[in-house]
């Protein structure tokens, strides 16, 4: 039997770690000091915008991933490391996670792959925090972050396909491609909801206002991304007009009240949900189920959220009018 002293050591460690997470999650996060309101009454310098407004974050981000990301970004801010380098490092972590899922023996493939998968989440949060801390936030950096996010998912998908093919055959490729297309739409809708919220509530401009260059690959990718964003954000043009005509403070308050529940619920489409789904699918040795989960459950959530967004946009425009 353990002594009382032996039992209290793990307890003290657990309480100390929980307290650190709570303090870090509640402390003031990095902000964008050059945020500009582009269409709320006029182009004026806005209040500083939090990188991740806590009121729309999921608990897993608020109390686990983002505190670690902020701590990492704080350390990197004193080094020559750039935000884009952190984004690429996250891509490497995603690729390592995919290799672990595929090559390690069961069940270690699930647990070790999941650990690297979480590391990708931490790095994905740290690049944006580092950019805000060092004043290097830019449309190109935002685009690099988005490209690395989607490329990272690709590096997870391919090993899962090969893992499923060992028992099911090459037809799994068709399901995986369909799930990948669905994932792109789901992720676009989730990010659009978050960035629109930060813009209208905190005045933080994003790619829709700043663009990603007038020509070249950056401009092409940005136009494709924003095209799907318009499709998946029904009613946003109406909200844009209503917010521009409304008193700024009133518009921000009503937008926050109307859209905060919707944006927070949209986290079901985030990478956190997919990471846990991948872990479960690999652990129970049913990797195909992950793709089916994206095609059914998450697509249904996407439709429900789009309808919710359209109705909320119409109600907000009516209230502002």
pLDDT in tens, 44-98: 333 456 667 889 988 888 889 989 999 999 999 999 998 888 988 999 999 999 9
* Alpha-carbon torsion (68, 74, 128, 250), positive or negative: positive
Instruction: Tell me what pLDDT residue 43 has.
Output: 35
Write phi, then psi, for 45 (nearest 5 degrees). Answer: -65, 125
% of the chain beyond a pLDDT of 90: 47
Instruction: Tell me what pLDDT residue 217 has.
Output: 64
Which stretch of DSSP H or E encloses residue 301?
A: helix 299-320
- In whole angstroms, give the CA distance from residue 286 to residue 282: 6
Instruction: Tell me what pLDDT residue 133 has.
Output: 84
* Alpha-carbon torsion (74, 75, 79, 85), positive or negative: negative
Which segments of the chain have a pLDDT < 70? 1-51, 139-140, 142-143, 206-222
107 preceded by a cis bond (ω within 30 of 0): yes
Write phi, then psi, for 145 (nearest 5 degrees). Answer: -60, -45
CATH topology of domain 50-320: 1.20.120
- Residue 115 neighbours by CB distance under 10 Å: 14
Transcribe 221-284 into DSSP letters: HHHHHHHHHHHHSTTHHHHHHHHHHS-HHHHHHHHHHHHHHHHHHGGGGSHHHHHHHHHHHHHT
pTM comes to 0.77
């Amino acid at each position: 039997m353990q002594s009382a002293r032996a039992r209290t050591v793990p307890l003290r460690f657990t309480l100390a770690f929980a307290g650190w997470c709570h303090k870090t999650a509640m402390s003031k996060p990095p902000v964008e000091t050059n945020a500009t309101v582009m269409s709320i009454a006029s182009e004026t310098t806005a209040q500083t915008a939090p990188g991740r407004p806590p009121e729309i974050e999921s608990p897993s981000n608020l109390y686990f991933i983002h505190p670690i990301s902020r701590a990492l970004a704080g350390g990197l801010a004193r080094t020559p490391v750039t935000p884009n380098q952190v984004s690429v490092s996250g891509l490497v972590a995603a690729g390592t996670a995919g290799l672990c899922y595929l090559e390690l023996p069961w069940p270690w493939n699930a647990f070790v792959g999941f650990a690297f998968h979480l590391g990708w989440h931490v790095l994905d949060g740290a690049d944006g925090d580092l950019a805000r801390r060092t004043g290097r936030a830019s449309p190109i950096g935002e685009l690099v972050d988005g490209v690395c996010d989607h490329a990272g998912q690709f590096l997870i998908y391919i090993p899962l396909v090969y893992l499923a093919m060992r028992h099911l055959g090459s037809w799994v490729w068709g399901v995986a491609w369909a799930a990948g297309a669905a994932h792109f739409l789901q992720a676009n809708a989730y990010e659009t909801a978050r960035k629109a919220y930060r813009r209208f509530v905190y005045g933080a401009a994003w790619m829709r206002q700043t663009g990603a260059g007038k020509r070249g690959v950056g401009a092409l990718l940005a136009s494709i991304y924003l095209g799907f964003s318009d499709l998946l954000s029904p009613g946003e043009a109406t909200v844009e007009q209503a917010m521009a005509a409304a008193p700024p403070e009133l518009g921000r308050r009503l937008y926050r009240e109307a859209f905060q529940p919707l944006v927070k619920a949209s986290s079901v489409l985030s990478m956190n949900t997919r990471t846990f789904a991948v872990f479960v699918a690999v652990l129970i040795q049913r990797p195909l189920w992950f793709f089916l989960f994206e095609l059914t459950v998450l697509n249904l959530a996407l439709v429900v959220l789009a309808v919710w967004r359209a109705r909320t946009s119409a109600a907000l425009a009516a209230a502002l009018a």
